[in-house]
Structure formats: C-alpha cells, structure tokens
C-alpha cells in the first residue's frame, strides 16, 4: 500500500524531472539568438531531435490515451497492466517537439538571418538514420495492417503496440546518434563555443530524475518488469547521462577558457567529418 509520503515523493520526482528536461531545450536557441549564429552547433543534433521527439510524442500520447494500445499493453504485461507512462511524459514530449523544431529552424538564414556556415548540412550517416527510421516504421505498420488489419490481437500477435515500440526504438537511436556529431565537432574545433553547456546541465539532471522516477513507479506497482516494459525511458536516461558527462568534461576540463574572442570561427570546421 502506498502511503502519503511515498505519493508526495513520487510527485516531486515527476515534476522535477519534467522541469529539468523541459528547461534544457531553451538555452541552445537562446544562445543562437544572442549570437545571431548557429556556428558551433551541428545541424545533425536538432534534426535528429525533431525526428526523435515526434516519435516519442506519438508513442507517449498513445500509451496514455489510446484504449487500444493500453489494452494491448495489459495483455502483454498481465502482472502490471498499467503503462508507466505519466502525464509529464506527454507534456514533455509535445513541448520538446515545439522547441527542437524552433532550434532546427534557426539553420535557415532566410527565416532568422543568423550566420550559418555553408558546410552546416546534415551528414550522410545522419540522413541514413532518418530515412532508415522512416522506412522501419512504415515496414512495421505494413506488417501490422497485413497480419491484423484494424482488429484487436492477442498478446503474441502483431499489433499496433509494435508500431509504438518501433517509434520508441527510433527515438532511442536518434538520441544515441545525435550526440556523436556534436562531440566530434567540439573535438575538431577544440572548443564548445556555440554549444550551450546549460542545456547539458539541465539534461543530466532530468535524466537522473527520470531514471529515479521509473524505479519509483515500478516499486509502487510491486513489479520490476515495469522498468523493462518502459525500456524507452530507461535507455534514454542512461544514454543521455553518458553523453552529458562527455560534454561536461569537454566544456569544463578539455576546452576550458575558450570564448568567442579567442576562437576563430572557421567554416571548414563546422562539418563534424562524419562523411567519408
């Protein structure tokens, strides 16, 4: 039985993780606005963010509000039939889509009149991830339509919940890949100028709190399979934390002390060299 203290603790963790992660989307577009430039930020990062958070939002909204998806989840998790997706996950996803789309739009000079390097274009591997993700979702959707149509299926059959799981894995892949070009770009420039460290500090805070929230949710339900049942949140938290640590080391240790006055912006360094 959950007591009042446990309920208050759970609510605090939910609210704290939502605030920290939501706040992480503001520093980068604000930094771009102040500098009137996107130099120092790879376009791969916001592009994969747009794709990933669109998938995340569709997935969380469906798990939260779709009777069909919730019934299919219950059929596959009879011990703990309630998805561990919370309202803060839905609000976070929708809010994230708006902010990452805003950041991505700042790479269009005709819209914002910011300084953008002609080499700030999506790399081939990242475009491969984007188109590959779209193809994967379409293939799984086609399989579900062919095997089951619009009818409800048993727990072992192909069902619409599998499309949502595919969207979740797309988000997981996008989250992992999106950090790599930025790490490489910072390394090539020997600087984190143009890359907001504030967003990373908020992100790592949200990642840790989100992981704690997932564990608390599962413990309250008395079924630890709730953690693996929400593998998306578990994976996102761990991946984000790992890369956030890398960025913190780059900013505060490896490239400490660099600023706009000491770094010469070089268009030749704005491509993270992922392309052959």
Q: How far apart are CA 77 and CA 155, in angstroms?
A: 9
Q: Is 60 helix (H, G, I), strand (E, B) or coil?
A: helix
CB-CB contact of 202 with 20 (8 Å) = yes
Q: What is the pLDDT of residue 150?
A: 56
Q: How far apart are CA 236 and CA 174, in angstroms?
A: 10
Residues 195-240: tens digit of each pLDDT: 999 999 999 988 787 777 777 766 766 666 656 666 666 776 788 8
Tokens encoding 212: 């704690």
Q: How far apart are CA 17 and CA 205, in angstroms?
A: 7
Report domain extents, the chain: 4-269
Q: What is the pLDDT of residue 274?
A: 52
Q: How far apart are CA 104 and CA 96, in angstroms?
A: 12
Q: How far apart are CA 242 and CA 19, in angstroms?
A: 20
Q: How far apart are the first and last CA of the chain?
A: 58
DSSP 150-189: TS---TTS--HHHHHHHHHHHHHHHHHHHHHHHHHHHHHH
Long-range CB contact pairs, 258-266, < 8 A, 24+: 258/190, 258/191, 258/192, 258/193, 259/193, 260/35, 260/193, 263/189, 263/191, 263/193, 265/37, 265/39, 265/40, 266/189
Q: Is 115 helix (H, G, I), strand (E, B) or coil?
A: strand
Q: How far apart are CA 216 and CA 230, in angstroms?
A: 13
Nearest to 206 by CA among 11, 16, 8, 12: 16
Give the global pTM. 0.83
Residue with tokens 């379409």: 138
Residues 104-116: tens digit of each pLDDT: 999 999 999 999 9
Per-residue confidence in pLDDT tens, the chain, 276 aa? 455 555 555 555 556 667 887 899 999 999 999 999 999 999 999 999 999 999 999 999 999 999 989 988 888 888 778 887 888 788 889 999 999 999 999 999 999 999 998 888 999 999 999 999 999 999 999 998 887 665 555 556 788 999 999 998 999 899 889 999 999 999 999 999 999 999 999 999 887 877 777 777 667 666 666 566 666 667 767 888 999 999 999 999 999 876 654 445 554 455 554 554
Q: How far apart are CA 119 and CA 49, in angstroms?
A: 20
């Amino acid at each position: 039985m959950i007591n009042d203290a446990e309920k208050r603790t759970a609510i605090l963790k939910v609210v704290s993780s939502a605030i920290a992660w939501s706040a992480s989307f503001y520093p980068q577009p604000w930094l771009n606005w102040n500098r009137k430039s996107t130099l120092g930020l790879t376009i791969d990062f916001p592009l994969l963010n747009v794709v990933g958070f669109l998938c995340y939002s569709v997935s969380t909204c469906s798990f939260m509000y779709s009777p069909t998806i919730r019934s299919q989840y219950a059929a596959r998790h009879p011990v703990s039939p309630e998805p561990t997706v919370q309202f803060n996950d839905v609000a976070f996803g929708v809010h994230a889509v708006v902010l990452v789309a805003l950041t991505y739009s700042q790479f269009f000079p005709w819209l914002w009149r910011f300084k953008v390097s002609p080499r700030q274009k999506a790399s081939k591997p990242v475009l491969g991830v984007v188109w590959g993700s779209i193809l994967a979702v379409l293939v799984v959707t086609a399989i579900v339509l062919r095997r089951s149509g619009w009818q409800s299926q048993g727990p072992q059959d192909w069902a619409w919940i599998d499309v949502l799981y595919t969207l979740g894995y797309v988000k997981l892949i996008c989250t992992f890949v999106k950090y790599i070009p930025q790490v490489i770009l910072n390394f090539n420039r020997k600087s984190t100028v143009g890359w907001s460290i504030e967003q990373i500090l908020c992100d790592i805070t949200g990642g840790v709190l989100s992981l704690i929230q997932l564990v608390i949710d599962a413990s309250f339900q008395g079924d630890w399979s709730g953690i693996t049942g929400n593998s998306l949140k578990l994976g996102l938290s761990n991946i984000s934390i790992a890369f956030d640590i890398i960025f913190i080391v780059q900013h505060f240790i490896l490239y400490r002390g660099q600023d706009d006055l000491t770094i010469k912006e070089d268009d030749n360094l704005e491509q993270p060299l992922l392309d052959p």
